[in-house]
Structure 1
Amino acid sequence: MQNIGRIIKSERIKQNMKQKVLAEDICSTSYLSKIENGNKSPSPEVLNDLIARLQINLNYFSQENEEQIMANLYENYKSIVLTRNEQAAKDKVNHYMNFEIRFDEPKNFYYYNLYLFRLFLVSKQPLDEIEHFLTAFYAMEENLDNRQSFIYNVNANIYHFRKSNYIKALSYLESSINLLPSIQLEDWERADYYYILALNYYSLNQNLNALNYAKKSSAIYESLGYFARSVDCKTLIAATYIQNGHYASAEQILEDTSLFCHQHQLQQFESLLSQNMGFIFALQGHAKKAITFYKKSYNAKTEPLSILITIHSIIKEYSKLNQEDYVRKWCEKGLDLIKENELTDTTTTYLYHFEIFKMKHQLIPFEEKLIANAIDHFQRINDIKNVQKYAILLGNLLYEHHEYKKAASYFQRSTEAMYQLKYINKWEDLT
């Protein structure tokens, strides 16, 4: 079996086992290293002992035609990346995890795991269940060719982006820019890369780069007929204009995108476009107009977690208007939605939002610990904007209660969060 060394290495890394541990009482570590790198074929006795320790069942490995499996996997990979269909990704992950392949071609071994890595990411699996892919490829990175390295960097970027580690995520993409001239990418792959790059630049407030790559991606997707993906790019362009304070340009983009969606029968984007339009008016201080668009978005949504986003947006606008009755009403809507759909374990963020807004408007008694716990929660999930927001609120509330020392500590924490948002460490670097 030509690929047995790679199978052993991959399984060992997945199990977080050191070479020394696997080789103990079976062979030397250097001998195992040669087996894993394909420089030595193990004797039958050594092979049996290694697979027994790793608990590998070689009958579990698929006997199907290797090239046919790879062709099918690539088509599934392409389709799922382009549709971003989480359920389809989960189904295919389950399918491919039910067997392994005895790869005869080393390149197929790497591509197989790279494609599977991306499917795991699209399926929104918990990151701790995906980490073994990152660990394994980090160990094997020197064996990858340029195209494989490119795909690995994209996957690693998405992984770290989901952890809100935007600077580290971007470093993987930028290292791939130098690979582009040396590899052949299909147009859809290039569009996918440009969109992910634009999203990273947007998250780091690098708006010119974000606009440049979002426009490039949109043009490619539109020329290929992937109109839904083009809408994603157009929405990101609007968000970038919003971030820059160019509200009129953002509004025009969203209006044009709405017409584009109508032309191509993409009704699924109605709620997203209304949400973004509401955000534009919210930032300009037009709370009533913002609420109108947010309610339009709310009425178009069916997915509970997405509905919670809009409920939170509506609450913020009623809070600005000091309309306590509506703040109470929409907070209760959000809390009821969480209970009805048994979402408590996955919506800690919104539980905090709704309870804190009720507290802010004195609909429930002031509870310092609740807001402090919320700040710690947002720090853990690296949501620094909400760390700053609620640290300021708690500082103000403590000040009103004459708890001046505690108030000062939270104002300091809000300042530290502001530094983190600006990606600076020193006062001198403030501009």
Structure 2
Amino acid sequence: MQNIGRIIKSERIKQNMKQKVLAEDICSTSYLSKIENGNKSPSPEVMNGLIERLQLDLNYFSEENEEQIMDNLYENYKSIVLTRNEQAAKEKVNHYMNFEIRFDEPKNFYYYNLYLFRLFLVSKQPLNEIEHFLTAFYAMEENLDERQSFIYNVNANIYHFRKSNYIKALSYLESSINLLPNIQLEDWERADYYYTLALNYYSLNQNLNALNYAKKSSAIYESLGYFARSVDCKTLIAATFIQNGHYASAEQILEDTSLFCHRHQLHQFDSLLSQNMGFIFALQGHAKKAITYYKKSYKAKTEPNSILITIHSIIKEYSKLKQEDYVRIWCEKGLDLIKENELTTSTTTYLYHFEIFKMKHQLISFDEKLIANAIDHFQKINDIKNVQKYAILLGDILYEHHEYKKAASYFQRSTEAMYQLKYINKWEDLT
């Protein structure tokens, strides 16, 4: 138990209760003062009386001292960041949220909440349930030391990255670059930072920076024996080459990574590597070969949201081949999977994808409102690529129906999305 005297004193002050009032009929005021100052341990009778009068529930207080709490939390934080274990993160969040901790050291208060912030992010809690961390740290940012500021910047980056605010997210990481020479970081923390930085640069098409930091991160993780995290970096390197159009290099990296995974028995990456290999062939126009890899990925997956990604990929390739029967079959597979699971933002996304592909291939009637709603949905979640994609589609269909004014408005919307994707505001900046 934390110092019971400190808890009693804190609660008494919080309730605006004088020592004399609390001690009445339980113990002397001087005895209470000694308990509160840690000079005396209360007898069971006295402790029960004080707890009852204060209406304290000691289940909300930790049985460890402050330093033990911080040591244990740091080890949990480190383990969960390195394993990316969403379920373990949820369990630890629930554990630490189930009791109240009173800190003597302000630095421990900051670290405690910074570590919890990251655990909330790993556990994939809804962002609106995490926002209070961001708001609180923003208000007291000037009180943080440089190491705490570094951790805060990584957390804030992940938060904004999940909202697809990539430029804002990157600003937090780049502000930490100047902190690196001044703070002591463990190697795994540096690798985590480099990977996060690489992911941000990749999302903004800054591919040289992405490659540089992904390679740095991979080398550190591999030297430490965190092979799964090194695979994350290797697949990001492959994705960066894909984004650059260097498909042969990307294919070679994925093949080497597959051997690396086999050597270290990392079979959990089989579906991801097959998915990425399928994407390479899809981009090169080899739809049938892409489908082969996508189906291999599909068979290896168990998590519903991940399965939906692969189903969507398969549908796109059958659509290119104009094989309507297979488009229908795989759309129905996806829709059935959505029905079996709770409807969330991610599954809503695929609901629109599958219904629109059925519509495109005239498997269901044209529904202008459905596509318009899809465009609004993607705008809301900041998925600008799909805003552009479906605005073009709806514009084309409306044009074919001779609804030229409506078509023009959606072509305009697709142009605005294209500007946003290129991070430009003016026509003159187009090259």
TM-score of the alignment, normalized to the shorter chain, above 0.5 = yes
C-alpha spacing 1:119/1:4, structure 2 compared with 1 (3 Å): farther
Q: CA deviation at 1:181?
A: 0.3
Instruction: Determine if contact 2:2/2:61 at 8 Å carries over to the other structure.
Output: no
Q: Structure 2: how far apart are the matches of 1:404 and 1:27?
A: 87
Q: CA deviation at 1:32?
A: 26
Instruction: Determine if contact 1:3/1:102 at 8 Å carries over to the other structure.
Output: no
C-alpha spacing 1:49/1:417, structure 2 compared with 1 (3 Å): farther
Q: SS of the counterpart of 1:255?
A: helix
Deviations 1:287-329 (A, max 9, x none): 1110010000001111111000000000000000111000001
Instruction: Determine if contact 1:241/1:247 at 8 Å carries over to the other structure.
Output: yes
Instruction: Determine if contact 1:14/1:132 at 8 Å carries over to the other structure.
Output: no
Deviates more, 1:120-129 or 1:2-11: 2-11
Q: Structure 2: how far apart are the matches of 1:366 and 1:173?
A: 45
Instruction: Determine if contact 2:27/2:46 at 8 Å carries over to the other structure.
Output: yes
Residue segments in structure 2 that go unaligned for 5+ positions in a row: none
Q: CA deviation at 1:100?
A: 2.1
C-alpha spacing 1:308/1:10, structure 2 compared with 1 (3 Å): farther
Q: CA deviation at 1:105?
A: 1.2
Q: CA deviation at 1:102?
A: 1.5
Deviations 1:27-72 (A, max 9, x none): 9999999999999999999999999999997983435211111100
C-alpha spacing 1:138/1:15, structure 2 compared with 1 (3 Å): farther
C-alpha spacing 1:399/1:72, structure 2 compared with 1 (3 Å): same
Instruction: Determine if contact 1:274/1:293 at 8 Å carries over to the other structure.
Output: yes
- The number of equivalent residue pairs is 431
Q: Structure 2: how far apart are the matches of 1:108 and 1:259?
A: 43
Instruction: Determine if contact 1:318/1:326 at 8 Å carries over to the other structure.
Output: yes
C-alpha spacing 1:21/1:166, structure 2 compared with 1 (3 Å): farther
Q: Structure 1: how far apart are the matches of 2:179 and 2:35?
A: 30
Partner of 2:238: 238
Q: CA deviation at 1:12?
A: 18
Instruction: Determine if contact 1:261/1:267 at 8 Å carries over to the other structure.
Output: yes
C-alpha spacing 1:223/1:406, structure 2 compared with 1 (3 Å): same
Q: Structure 1: how far apart are the matches of 2:31 and 2:174?
A: 37
Q: Structure 1: how far apart are the matches of 2:2 and 2:388?
A: 56
Q: SS of the counterpart of 1:67?
A: helix
After TM superposition, the score normalised by the length of structure 1 is 0.87
C-alpha spacing 1:24/1:45, structure 2 compared with 1 (3 Å): same
Greater C-alpha Rg:
2
C-alpha spacing 1:54/1:346, structure 2 compared with 1 (3 Å): farther
After TM superposition, the score normalised by the length of structure 2 is 0.87
C-alpha spacing 1:14/1:243, structure 2 compared with 1 (3 Å): farther
Q: SS of the counterpart of 1:40?
A: coil
Q: Percent identity of the aligned residues?
A: 94
Q: Structure 2: how far apart are the matches of 1:15 and 1:393?
A: 63
Q: Structure 2: how far apart are the matches of 1:34 and 1:390?
A: 72
Q: Structure 1: how far apart are the matches of 2:420 and 2:129?
A: 28
Q: CA deviation at 1:342?
A: 4.0
Q: SS of the counterpart of 1:351?
A: helix
Deviations 1:225-258 (A, max 9, x none): 0000000000000000000000000000000000
Q: CA deviation at 1:5?
A: 17
C-alpha spacing 1:164/1:344, structure 2 compared with 1 (3 Å): closer
Instruction: Determine if contact 1:201/1:207 at 8 Å carries over to the other structure.
Output: yes
Instruction: Determine if contact 2:391/2:411 at 8 Å carries over to the other structure.
Output: yes
C-alpha spacing 1:361/1:180, structure 2 compared with 1 (3 Å): same
Instruction: Determine if contact 1:338/1:344 at 8 Å carries over to the other structure.
Output: no
Q: SS of the counterpart of 2:140?
A: helix
Deviates more, 1:181-190 or 1:99-108: 99-108
Instruction: Determine if contact 1:63/1:101 at 8 Å carries over to the other structure.
Output: no
Q: CA deviation at 1:337?
A: 1.1
Deviates more, 1:12-21 or 1:83-92: 12-21
Residue segments in structure 1 that go unaligned for 5+ positions in a row: none
Partner of 1:51: 51
C-alpha spacing 1:416/1:13, structure 2 compared with 1 (3 Å): farther
Q: CA deviation at 1:104?
A: 1.2
Q: SS of the counterpart of 1:366?
A: coil
C-alpha spacing 1:254/1:69, structure 2 compared with 1 (3 Å): same
Deviates more, 1:50-59 or 1:201-210: 50-59
Deviations 1:52-95 (A, max 9, x none): 99999798343521111110000000000000000000000000
C-alpha spacing 1:187/1:322, structure 2 compared with 1 (3 Å): same
